[in-house]
Amino acid sequence: MQSLLERIVAIVGEGNVLTGDDVAQRRVDWMSGASCRAGAIVRPADTDELARVMRLCHAVAQPVVTHGGLTGLVHGGEASPDELAISLERMTAIEAIDPIGGSMTVQAGIALQTVQEAAAEHDLQFALDLGARGSCTIGGNIATNAGGVRVIRYGMMRQQVLGLEAVLADGSVVSSMNRMLKNNAGYDLKQLFIGSEGTLGIVTRAVLRLQPRMTSERTALVACPDFDGVTGLLRHLGRTLGGSLGTFEVMWRNHYALLTEESGRNTPPLPARWPFYAIVESLGSDDAANVAQFSAALESALEAGLIEDAVLAQSDAQRQGIWDIREDIEGLIDNLSPLFTFDVSLPIPDMADYADALERRIGERWPEGRMVIFGHLGDGNLHVSVGVGSGDPQTRRDVEQIVYGPLAELGGSISAEHGIGLEKRDYLPLSRTPGEIALMRTLKQALDPKGLLNRHKILAAEE
């Protein structure tokens, strides 16, 4: 690797090839705090430098791992000593903003929050939002097809990308920097790189879609009498709020109760006595009209028996108080540690039975075990948190079997928004058919025949 690194230094400059302690002190997993073990970290300044680096790597079959903000949850950033990490941390430019067409052109290393703020300066919004906004990068958001709390209204990252540029394994550059909403001139190549976790190419630049900014965001917490109430409410709000429904997050009682009355960590805006709680938001431009429409929708839901009670936040503090319950990951860690978290999706009508069976099976196996659930229910996405008293790998695998096992029959997914990475790789056949996995391998082979990009992520090496 040494002579390769010397040639890479000649491209990116001495200060941009990190080795030794500069590598080890970098954390590649914010949950475990694990250190980077890559042979070196290379920080190109632009697409051209990266392309030249990749041509060198390709010539000598040097594998690489791409690093964005390192906020992933499936060990996608892990690298071994025989791999180089490619960090896009120097590629953070905003190249152009078109407020009329509604687009922003950026380098892939830029942080999500920086993009959100730049859009807001033009009275527009970038619609993707998630907790890691300050650290995660647009390139990482693209590579993982990030989700978050606004998917029900604006879709996932895939829907926010108009065009992109990627460097392939052999160092060739595919520039597909489309700026229009509509472009049917041949294959839509950007789709290959969105959500493929860096295994087919390294995203270097992107054209992002900007949306009109909604100035009125209204938040309510509601309690539902049963799961039919939850799904009935989802349909009711979809119909009555139309394009204004911005969030539909559901907490099972076990989740809500744990983080409010049981632990005392958060003040419950509603007592923890009903089986389901939903955070719903209505987005509009005229606040008075938005409040009127939202209040009427909640009132008719109450009359129809879809909800038992509701609190419409009257201040930013109240709004934050509601979200604090939903976002209190520390509360989960404190109470369920060692904590196993899961990100699954399944057809909404099957969710209640799935959750009940999960709780039962965990209780049977670990009488002291505990499971709580919240999720982006409107998107079919549940986050399952489990604590069974032990954090060892075999226990984790046992819990995984219970959580992932039923998904195959339900047509669910072992990953709604976090991706596969290394963590879920062995379970991929639960969610994808043999034909799908064969086609994934065909694509990987076609684009990266030497297997240099994010080795062993998503797909295991063929036996």
In the region spanning residues 192 to 231, those forming contacts with its own copies, defined by CB under 8 A, are 192, 194-196, 200, 211-214, 231
Of residues 30-49, those binding its own copies (CB under 8 A): none
By CB under 8 A, the residues from 62 to 121 that bind its own copies are 98-103
Enclosing H/E stretch for 238: helix 227-241
Size of interface with its own copies, in residues (CB under 8 A): 102
- Per CB under 8 A, 268 contacts its own copies: no
Q: How far apart are CA 151 and CA 281, in angstroms?
A: 12
Least spacing, CB of residue 453 vs its own copies, in Å: 13
Which residue carries 């129809």 as its tokens? 304
In the complex with its own copies, the residue whose CB is nearer, 279 or 430, is 430
Count of CB atoms situated within 10 Å of the CB of 445: 12
Which residues between 136 and 155 bind its own copies (CB under 8 A)? 144-145, 147, 151-153, 155
Interactions with its own copies, residue window 288-307 (CB under 8 A): 289, 292-293, 296
Token pair for 370 = 């505990």
Give the residue with the Cβ less far from its own copies, 365 or 441.
441
Q: How far is the CB of 17 from its own copies (least distance, A)?
A: 27
Question: Does residue 180 bind its own copies (CB under 8 A)?
Answer: yes
Beta carbons within 8 Å of 261's beta carbon, 6+ residues apart: 268, 271, 272
Q: Are strands 40-42 and 84-87 parallel, antiparallel or unpaired?
A: parallel
Beta carbon nearer to its own copies, 160 or 266? 160
Q: Which residue has the tokens 């892990």?
A: 78
173, 52 contact by CB (below 8 A): no
Residues 58 and 42: their CA atoms lie apart, in Å, by 15
- Could you say whether residue 321 binds its own copies (CB under 8 A)? no
| Angle (nearest 5°) at CA 93 between 88 and 99 | 135
Q: Which of residues 346-385 bind its own copies (CB under 8 A)?
A: 346-349, 376, 378-381
Among 172, 314, 320, 337, binds its own copies (CB under 8 A): 172
Exactly one of 177, 270, 408, 422 binds its own copies (CB under 8 A); which one?
177
Over its C-alpha atoms, the chain yields an Rg (Å, rounded) of 23
Query: What does DSSP assign to residue 349?
Result: G
| Structure tokens belonging to residue 195 | 């959500």
Our CB check for its own copies shows the closer of 288 and 317 to be 288
Site for its own copies in 412-431 (CB under 8 A): 412-420, 424, 428, 431
Q: Which stretch binds its own copies (CB under 8 A): 189-197, 328-336, 366-374, 383-391?
A: 189-197
- Residue 403 makes contact with its own copies by CB under 8 A: no
Which member of 95, 316, 356, 436 binds its own copies (CB under 8 A)? 436
Q: Which is nearer to its own copies, 111 or 459 (CB)?
A: 459
123 binds its own copies (CB under 8 A): yes
99/271 with CB nearer its own copies: 99
Cβ neighbours of residue 55 under 8 Å, at least 6 residues apart? 170, 171
Q: What is the DSSP secondary-structure string of 264-299?
A: -SS--SS-TTSSEEEEEEEEESSHHHHHHHHHHHHH
